Structure 1
């Protein structure tokens, strides 16, 4: 398990969420959704209100979707000029269902989608939002959208998620990445026990 950036521990995540709550709705939505879904930045950038099942508290990332953004236009051109321009997740396993049970995140997302149909920003904008909120904390780690993805994986692992659950909700092809999250969560628990005793 060799990650470029270390996930946030729960106290750090809470500090980041508190900072996000002091920002506008766009920043707050970005931080909360990335941290509580494990979505990739590109997935979040393309998220639409129709992806959310409010009754069952789920986010359904589709296998493909029509898209007119410049990033998707470049990818379509690289694939084949005759293929329709659309967004496709990073991998075939990226199309998935993600439970969204954190109440403040659900409220924030509902509020956001009451004013907007899509997230509709670039990955760079998402990264800038994360960086801006992180700069309002005392956290010394570099925080990126991908760090929030790792944070989600390690937190659900620490809360008892199975490798299958982690793989499915995060859109991994196999269990090796899920096992990395479980291993990291176990290491963190060991370190916490050492501090207590």
Structure 2
């Protein structure tokens, strides 16, 4: 049976434990792990998004991360395209006979889908917003996509937790669950997470039980 990432969302207590472990780690691992935890575990960003995030994506006046439709990748050696984007470009060229691999490489980085082009509000938590801006101003995530999983494994180990079910996409599921449990409506959750299908947001909201709890409170008040 296929296991869905929503099943691997971690609790708030577990997330707080990871954050504490990240802050206690030596630099630069501390900043790198904290950046991943915030952007994936609270802002719901995909690993490919968070590792390409630059200061230009941040609209500090409106407290938004504005994920662009295209942003030239310079995450590889000597400022060239990274291995992750090169692999994505090769796959795109393979499935489009009118596109050469060089054409595809010039289009990298780009989001996973059109719906992933979105504005992500981050001012729902003042401390988180302040720390995010500090980390991005300091350079954000300086390493490539392939290192994200290793950093997650490292902070999980530092926290003394079982790494079996904690990975970047599980952190994204954690963000979905976190906001659904606080009553974010499905349409807003869909926009926040960049999903193409509203049914995914409906599933998280349904599993959170928040709508049922709210209806019961209103009924019995």
Given that 2:70 and 2:107 are in contact with CA atoms closer than 8 Å, whether structure 1 keeps it comes out as: no
Question: For residues 124-139 of structure 1, what are the structure 2 equivalents within 5 Å?
Answer: 124-139=146-161
Q: Counterparts of 2:185 and 2:44 in 1: how far apart (Å)?
A: 15
User: Structure 1 residue runs of 4+, over 4 Å off?
Assistant: none
**Deviation (angstroms), 1:179:** 1.1
Unpaired runs of 5+ residues, structure 2, are: 74-80, 94-98, 214-221
- Tell me the residue number matched to 1:22: 24
CA contact 1:51–1:60 (8 Å) conserved in 2 = yes
CA distance in 2, matches of 1:96, 1:21: 29
Q: The residue matched to 2:120 in structure 1 has which SS?
A: strand
TM-score scaled by structure 1?
A: 0.85
Q: List gaps (5 residues or longer) in structure 1.
A: 191-197
- 1:63 paired with 2:69, answer yes
Q: Which residue matches 1:87? A: 109
Q: Please report how far the alpha carbon of residue 37 of structure 1 lies from its aligned counterpart in structure 2 after TM superposition.
A: 0.6
2:42 is paired with a residue whose SS is helix
- State how far apart, in whole Å, the 1-side matches of 2:133 and 2:189 are: 25
Cα deviation, 1:58-97, whole Å, max 9, x if unaligned, reads: 1111111112223223333442225224211111111011
Larger radius of gyration: 2
Q: In structure 2, what is the equivalent of residue 75 of structure 1?
A: 88
Whether 1:44 and 2:50 are equivalent positions in the alignment is yes
Instruction: Give the aligned partner of residue 218 of structure 2.
Output: none
Report the TM-score when normalising by structure 2. 0.76
